[in-house]
């Protein structure tokens, strides 16, 4: 790979580029949502799209999330490929009935006659100092709904590739964009975006032998940082970035845990009823005889998302991750 | 000295950004529901339209009676009858062109049938062998929608998409009086008006949302008045007068097709039967109320007009009734056959690209079915696989 052409881009820029390229490649792709047109979105992800493609392709809608998603359902029924933006995680809740009762079920209800290729972009998660209702991790609700795909990028390059894949997918995709990674930069050439694998494949971000950190979205950089810090303790941690909760890549996860024999699941979402419980169960079912310790979870507390001045106590950080790694029954090692 | 004089040169003005908006007067519904039958205008109604409406109404009534009977025979899990509302159901179907789309609720199987859908396919949801019994694209009928009013934004989106594509397509969405209290009703009407989408909303105000009467549902002057708040015209029509409903809907569809935007139509009708066969209407309304509405029956109203104008003799009436009987007999016979079920369908259409988890579960069910077929329970998924480890 040449490094000459590479230049730093933010995740927000990569997402915007993915939308632009998808719209240019396919005239049925329509972007719609609150403030996505003239303003370019509150996170500027849709910046320039209305200007380039016109208001009919990038539409400022009335402020009503059920109406936005419901209208997108009708547009998809007529052969369009809507990409809707829910402005913030907690503002997506009014659209739940449309999502659960129609978006997730329409293909099945009609025996495949009426697929709904809708991408629902949701800026999600905490760590940006947002006031109440701006920092929720809502993935557990989505992953519990059959019929949806649930995708979360953690890198600039994945943001582009996974969003292109999501828009191209004939299945509805809830695309969770980690807000605090919007401004993360990576060396990535926007003019030569690398092709990515289909949705549903996890990736090993860091190889290690002592234990596996299973994570996704905003917690991936935190886990990588924890893995670096763990070297001082003599632990060589592997980090698996799931990239999607649905489909779930059992194979990559189980292969990693079989190698390391220990696993910690890390996510911002609350632990009780959160993705970590499902992941721990799946790992245990597949790797029981390889496990040296129970699968542990480092998750957000089971509390409503805290006010910004207290959020650092809630979010899984390096210390809490290392503390969990320390509890993986190393004393039993002989 | 007056207050204004004390203020000197200062003169209050309207808020700077304020502009006069749409004049509400032309959007307001008439004071009384539009009627044709029983008025002087009835004499001018095209005999062909009267005959067509009559034939469909008689078939529609027979269909309702037959479907209700099928619940008693255990052939339908449930049937929400539209008896008494046939004028709305039939007119909604007849005003649409083939390229237009109908968005029915669960009570609107008759509208789908009147549009040409096979009644067996229309009743699939209510029989319970699948959720939708037809390809929506084939007849341009959206799946029967159970969560109230949630199909309305779909109609708006579809109409909007058609307009963006330059297609001459109108969407007609059906909803009940109870559904107008839902948030999706509000959001759909607002989107439709802002986008000037070619969509018509028909509210069948049948008096009850299961047991709750309209007075507990809204304090609006009428449901049609709600249109004004969105900036679209509201129309009020006698929902049991098939000609009047046909007229009002035709005008609304033409208005939408011509680029005039959406219309909200409130049809005043009455649900003669209980909410469904599982409901007991005597707990919330009296027989005398039902009887006053029976005297305003949609089938009888058209029949009387045809007879009085000498457009329907005994033989012609019998022919219409025979035709309806034939439809009912055919429906009965076909519904009395057990549907063919394939449990593997449960997995077939969840995703375009099924997840590995679903593929695993599909294999599990297949193994269970194979074991069931072999008559050897325990040999399949409960077998001793891995027991020796």
Q: Return the residue in A29, A53, A69, A70 with the most chain B beta carbons within 10 A, the one to mutate for interface testing.
A: A70
Q: How is domain A203-332 classified at the CATH fold level?
A: Rossmann fold (3.40.50)
Assess whether pLDDT exceeds 70 at residue B5: no
Assess whether pLDDT exceeds 50 at residue B386: no
Q: Nearest by CB to B356, which of A61, A73, A250? A: A250
**Where do the domains of chain A lie?**
9-187, 203-332
Assess whether pLDDT exceeds 50 at residue B210: yes
Contact A46, A40 (CB under 8 A): yes
Contact A324, A298 (CB under 8 A): yes
Confidence of residue A194 (pLDDT cuts 50, 70, 90): low
Chain mean position to CA B94: 13
The answer, for A288 touching chain B at a CB cutoff of 8 Å, is no
The answer, for A106 touching chain B at a CB cutoff of 8 Å, is yes
Per the DSSP assignment, residues forming a β-bridge with A241 are A203, A215
Confidence of residue A2 (pLDDT cuts 50, 70, 90): very low
Edge-first strand order for the sheet with A58-60 is A58-60, A29-33, A81-85, A119-124, A173-178, A149-151, A244-246
CA distance B26 to B73: 51
Per-residue pLDDT of B16-44, as tens digits, reads 887 777 899 999 999 999 999 999 999 99
Chain A: closest CA distance from residue B119 (Å): 17
Percent of chain B with pLDDT over 90: 89
CA distance A87 to B66: 49
pLDDT for position B388: 39
Residue of B263, B249, B96 whose CA lies nearest to B169: B96
Assess whether pLDDT exceeds 80 at residue B55: yes
CA distance A182 to A12: 5
Residue B70 corresponds to which tokens in the numbers above? 């099928």
Assess whether pLDDT exceeds 90 at residue B245: yes
Residue of A141, A185, A159 whose CA lies nearest to A274: A141
Question: Fold identical between A9-187 and A203-332?
Answer: yes
Q: Nearest by CB to B191, which of A62, A77, A170? A: A62
pLDDT for position B176: 98
Assign B270 to helix, strand or coil: coil
Assess whether pLDDT exceeds 90 at residue A7: no
Chain B: closest CA distance from residue A98 (Å): 7
pLDDT for position B375: 83
Contact A14, A22 (CB under 8 A): no
Chain mean position to CA B57: 16
* Listed range (A64-78, A96-110, A175-189, B146-160) with the worst mean pLDDT: A175-189
B52: alpha, beta or left? (left if phi > 0; alpha if psi -120 to 50): alpha
* CA distance to B50, B239, B288, B291, B388, per residue, from B294 (Å): 20, 13, 10, 5, 74
Per-residue pLDDT of A259-286, as tens digits, reads 999 999 999 999 999 999 999 999 999 9
In sequence order, which ranges of A208-271 are alpha helices (DSSP H)?
219-230, 250-260
Catalytic residues of A: 134
Q: What is the H or E stretch that residue A268 is in?
A: strand A263-270
CB–CB contact B156 A71 (8 Å): yes
- Quote the mean pLDDT of chain A: 95
Radius of gyration of chain A (CA): 20
Q: Return the residue in B102, B145, B154, B199 with the most chain A beta carbons within 10 A, the one to mutate for interface testing.
A: B154
- Quote the mean pLDDT of chain B: 94
pLDDT for position A333: 62
Q: According to CATH, what is the number of the domain A9-187?
A: 3.40.50.970
Per-residue pLDDT of B98-145, as tens digits, reads 999 999 999 999 999 999 999 999 999 999 999 999 999 999 999 999
Residue A325 corresponds to which tokens in the numbers above? 């790694």
Helices and strands, number each (H, E), in chain B:
16, 7
**Where do the domains of chain B lie?**
26-335, 345-374
Confidence of residue B4 (pLDDT cuts 50, 70, 90): low
Assess whether pLDDT exceeds 80 at residue A6: no
Set B127, B284, B285, B304: catalytic member: B284
Instruction: Kindly report the number of other CB atoms within 10 A of residue B387's CB atom.
Output: 6
Confidence of residue A3 (pLDDT cuts 50, 70, 90): very low
CA distance B346 to A252: 27
pLDDT for position B387: 42
CA distance A234 to B296: 87
Instruction: Kindly report the number of other CB atoms within 10 A of residue A251's CB atom.
Output: 12
* Listed range (A191-200, A276-285, B129-138, B339-348) with the worst mean pLDDT: A191-200
pLDDT for position B3: 64
CB–CB contact A75 B136 (8 Å): no
Q: Respond yes or no: is residue B270 known to be catalytic.
A: no
pLDDT for position B101: 98
pLDDT for position A162: 96
* Listed range (A6-15, A102-111, A234-243, B219-228) with the worst mean pLDDT: A6-15
Which top CATH class is B26-335?
alpha beta
DSSP string, B343-364: TTHHHHTS-SS--HHHHHHHHH
- Determine the average pLDDT of the residues in A232-242: 97
Residues of B in contact with A75 (CB under 8 A): 157-158, 160-161
Assess whether pLDDT exceeds 70 at residue B383: no
- Determine the average pLDDT of the residues in A57-68: 98
Contact A226, A318 (CB under 8 A): yes
pLDDT for position A331: 85
CA distance B87 to B301: 10
Residues of A in contact with B161 (CB under 8 A): 74-75, 77-80
Edge-first strand order for the sheet with A211-215 is A203-206, A237-241, A211-215, A263-270, A296-300
């Amino acid at each position: 790979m040449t490094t000459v052409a590479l230049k730093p881009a933010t995740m927000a820029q990569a997402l915007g580029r993915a939308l632009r390229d998808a719209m240019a490649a396919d005239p049925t792709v329509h972007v719609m949502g609150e403030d996505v047109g003239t303003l370019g979105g509150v996170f500027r992800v849709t910046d320039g799209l209305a200007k380039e493609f016109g208001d009919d392709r990038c539409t400022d809608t009335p402020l009503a999330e059920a109406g936005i998603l419901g209208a997108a359902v009708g547009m998809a029924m007529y052969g369009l490929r809507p990409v809707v933006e829910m402005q913030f995680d907690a503002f997506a809740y009014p659209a739940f009935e449309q999502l659960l009762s129609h978006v997730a079920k329409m293909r099945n209800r009609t025996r495949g006659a009426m697929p709904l290729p809708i991408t629902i972009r949701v800026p999600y998660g905490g760590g940006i100092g947002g006031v109440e209702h701006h920092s929720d991790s809502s993935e557990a609700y989505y992953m519990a709904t059959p019929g949806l795909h649930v995708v979360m990028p953690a890198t600039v390059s994945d943001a582009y590739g996974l969003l292109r894949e999501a828009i191209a997918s004939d299945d509805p995709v809830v695309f969770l964009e980690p807000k605090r990674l919007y401004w993360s930069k990576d060396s990535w050439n926007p003019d030569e975006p690398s092709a990515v694998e289909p949705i549903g494949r996890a990736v090993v971000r860091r190889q290690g032998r002592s234990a596996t950190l299973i994570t996704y979205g905003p917690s991936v950089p935190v886990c990588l940082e924890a893995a670096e810090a763990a070297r001082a303790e003599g632990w060589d941690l592997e980090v698996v970035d799931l990239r999607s909760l649905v489909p779930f890549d059992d194979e990559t996860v189980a292969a990693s845990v079989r190698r390391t024999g220990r696993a910690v699941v890390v996510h911002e979402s609350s632990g009780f009823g959160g993705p970590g419980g499902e992941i721990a169960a799946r790992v245990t079912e597949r790797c029981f005889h390889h496990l040296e310790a129970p699968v542990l979870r480092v998750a957000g507390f089971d509390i409503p998302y805290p006010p910004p001045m207290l959020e650092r106590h809630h979010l899984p950080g390096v210390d809490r991750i290392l503390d969990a790694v320390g509890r993986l029954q190393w004393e039993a090692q002989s | 000295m007056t207050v204004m004089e004390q203020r000197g040169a200062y003169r209050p003005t309207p808020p700077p950004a304020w502009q006069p908006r749409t004049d509400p007067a032309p959007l307001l519904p008439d004071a009384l529901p539009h009627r044709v039958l029983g008025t002087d205008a009835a004499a001018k109604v095209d005999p062909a339209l009267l005959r067509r409406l009559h034939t469909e109404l008689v078939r529609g009534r027979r269909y309702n009676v037959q479907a209700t009977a099928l619940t008693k025979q255990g052939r339908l899990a449930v049937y929400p009858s539209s008896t008494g509302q046939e004028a709305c159901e039939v007119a909604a179907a007849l005003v649409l062109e083939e390229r237009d789309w109908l968005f029915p609720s669960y009570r609107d199987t008759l509208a789908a049938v009147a549009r040409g859908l096979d009644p067996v396919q229309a009743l699939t949801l209510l029989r319970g062998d699948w959720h939708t019994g037809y390809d929506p694209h084939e007849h341009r009928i959206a799946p029967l929608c159970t969560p109230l009013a949630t199909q309305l934004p779909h109609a708006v989106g579809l109409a909007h998409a058609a307009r963006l594509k330059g297609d001459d397509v109108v969407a007609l969405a059906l909803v009940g009086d109870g559904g107008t209290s839902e948030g999706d009703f509000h959001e759909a009407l607002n989107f439709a008006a802002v986008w000037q989408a070619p969509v018509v909303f028909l509210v069948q105000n049948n008096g009850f949302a299961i047991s709750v009467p309209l007075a507990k549902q809204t304090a609006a002057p009428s449901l049609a008045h709600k249109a004004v708040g969105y900036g679209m015209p509201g129309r009020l029509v006698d929902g049991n007068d098939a000609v009047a409903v046909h007229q009002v809907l035709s005008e609304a569809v033409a208005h939408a097709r011509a680029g005039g935007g959406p219309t909200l139509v409130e049809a005043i009708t009455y649900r003669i039967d209980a909410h469904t066969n599982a409901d007991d209407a005597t707990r919330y309304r009296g027989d005398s109320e039902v009887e006053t509405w029976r005297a305003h029956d949609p089938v009888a109203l058209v029949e009387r007009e045809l007879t009085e104008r000498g457009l329907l003799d005994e033989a012609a009436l019998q022919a219409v009734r025979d035709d309806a009987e034939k439809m009912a007999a055919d429906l009965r016979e076909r519904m009395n056959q057990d549907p063919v079920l394939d449990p593997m369908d449960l997995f077939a259409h969840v995703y375009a690209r099924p997840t590995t988890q679903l593929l695993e579960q599909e294999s599990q069910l297949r193994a269970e079915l194979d074991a069931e077929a072999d008559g050897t329970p325990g040999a399949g998924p409960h077998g001793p696989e891995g027991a020796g480890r």
